[in-house]
């Protein structure tokens, strides 16, 4: 009964799966930070070429062709 299991004595830093998880988490957070930093440096000039005025000239999904709404407005 005095036999030790193989997992006894294994320190947390000796588990390879833990290091893979730490690297994946760190990489994804670093990727998010870099994406925000790069997007803040560059101007939105390309958006003005694609959609002048910031609108894409699309109708809302709930609007019909004549501009009226399909469902009636609620009465106060």
Higher pLDDT, 7 or 23: 23
Asked whether the beta carbons of 69 and 62 are under 8 A apart, the reply is yes
The pLDDT value given to residue 1: 47
Query: Which SS3 state, helix, strand or coil, does residue 63 take?
Result: strand
Q: Is the pLDDT of residue 73 over 70?
A: no
Based on its alpha-carbon atoms, the radius of gyration of the chain, rounded to whole angstroms, reads: 28
The pLDDT value given to residue 25: 98
Q: What are the tens digits of pLDDT across the range 10-60?
A: 898 999 999 999 999 999 999 999 999 998 887 666 666 666 666 666 666
Residue among 31, 34, 32 at smallest CA distance from 42? 34
Per-residue tokens: 21: 């998880």
Give the global pTM: 0.49
The gap from C-alpha 26 to its chain's centroid, in whole angstroms, comes to 15
Strand partners, 63: 69
């Amino acid at each position: 009964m005095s036999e030790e299991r193989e997992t006894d004595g294994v320190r947390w830093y000796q588990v390879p799966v833990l290091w893979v998880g730490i690297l994946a988490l760190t990489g994804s957070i670093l990727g998010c930070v870099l994406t925000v930093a790069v997007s803040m440096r560059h101007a939105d000039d390309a958006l003005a070429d694609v959609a002048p005025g910031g609108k894409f000239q699309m109708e809302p999904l709930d609007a019909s062709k004549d501009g009226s709404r399909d469902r009636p407005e609620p009465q106060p």
